[in-house]
Each structure stands twice: as C-alpha cells, then as structure tokens.
C-alpha cells in the first residue's frame, strides 16, 4: 500500500481493522456473560485490558500482529455461543450445524494465515464438543467443524499454493 502511494494514515487505519473487529467480537462475547447492571463499566474495563497489554497495544496497525487471528477466532467463538444466550441466561440447545461449519471455516482461515494459531483450533473443537449432547451429536459436530476447517485452509492456501 505504501508503494502504491496510499497516505500513511490510511495504511495504518486499514492495518488496525483486525484489531477493531477482534475488540468488537470480544465485546459481544463479554456481553453474553455480564449482568446488565454493570455491563458497560465491565465492557470498558475488558476492552482497556485487551488493548493495553504488552502484546496487543504495540502491535495495532502493524504488519506483524496477531490481531487478524484473534478476530477470526473470536468471531468463531461468538457464533457458537450466541445461540445459547437468551437475555442474561444460557440455555442448553444444540449448536447449529451452519454455525459449526462457519466456525471451522474461520478457524481454518486463521491457521493458514498464521500456522501457530493451530493450537486454538483444538480449543474450538473442545468448545463444540462441550456444547453438544450425546456421542452422535458430538461426533457430527466435530466432523462438520473439521470440514469447515479444511475448507477454510484450502481456500486461503489456494492462491499461495498456486504461486509456489
């Protein structure tokens, strides 16, 4: 972008987008677990802690950040947890297969964008298995998660693999 002549403020803004997306999904996930009475105060505190950490704040708007991986995984976690939240109460329902597929896809993208994010894919698998009931349901959701992950990895690797 800098070689193309974009202004530095625009390049920085574009590079900061993954941070904004990650913080947005962090806020959505946090809202699922916070009581309404002090929700706004706690949300502000959570966002401040997330942004001011040693590995978070200094990397905002840089090309060496982890924020793009965090954004993909937090979106995936929110997609799985959202159907369970009704108001301030969690209810035990079956995770929707389309959400599990999209969660796997996002995890696959994250792994292909940064291979060290592969460990977090195990966390997604544990989340899907923990929120399902019965061995058949757990197995089905784990397979769907895996298929989504493979699809995300293949799609994000395709152009790179073609060039190599």
pLDDT tens by residue, 42-84: 888 888 888 887 777 767 767 677 888 889 999 998 888 877 6
β-pair partners for 28: none
What per-residue string of b and e applies to 4-23 under the rule 16 or more CB within 10 Å gives b? Answer: eeeeeeeeeeebbebbebbb
CA quadruple 104, 105, 110, 115: dihedral sign: positive
Taking the C-alpha atoms of residue 103 and residue 110, their distance in angstroms, rounded to an integer, is: 11
pLDDT tens by residue, 15-50: 889 889 999 999 988 888 887 778 888 888 888 888
Question: Does the pLDDT at position 162 exceed 80?
Answer: no
pLDDT at residue number 90? 59
Q: How confident is the model at residue 148 (pLDDT cuts 50, 70, 90)?
A: very high
Domain boundaries, the chain: 8-163
β-pair partners for 90: 85
pLDDT at residue number 88? 54
**pTM score:** 0.79
Mean pLDDT of 123-127: 89
Give yes or no for a contact between 94 and 132, defined as CB atoms under 8 angstroms apart: yes
């Amino acid at each position: 972008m800098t070689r193309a002549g974009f202004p530095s403020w625009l390049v920085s803004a574009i590079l900061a987008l993954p941070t904004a997306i990650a913080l947005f999904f962090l806020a959505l996930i946090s809202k699922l677990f916070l009581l309404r009475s002090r929700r706004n105060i706690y949300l502000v505190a959570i966002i401040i802690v997330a942004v001011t950490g040693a590995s978070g704040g200094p990397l905002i708007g840089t090309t060496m950040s982890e924020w793009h991986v965090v954004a993909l995984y937090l979106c995936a976690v929110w997609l799985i947890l959202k159907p369970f939240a009704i108001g301030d109460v969690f209810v035990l329902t079956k995770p929707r297969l389309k959400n599990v597929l999209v969660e796997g896809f996002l995890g696959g993208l994250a792994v292909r964008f940064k291979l060290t994010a592969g460990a977090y894919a195990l966390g997604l698998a544990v989340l899907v298995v923990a929120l399902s009931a019965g061995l058949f349901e757990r197995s089905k959701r784990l397979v769907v998660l895996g298929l989504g992950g493979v699809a995300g990895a293949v799609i994000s690797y395709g152009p790179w693999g073609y060039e190599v």
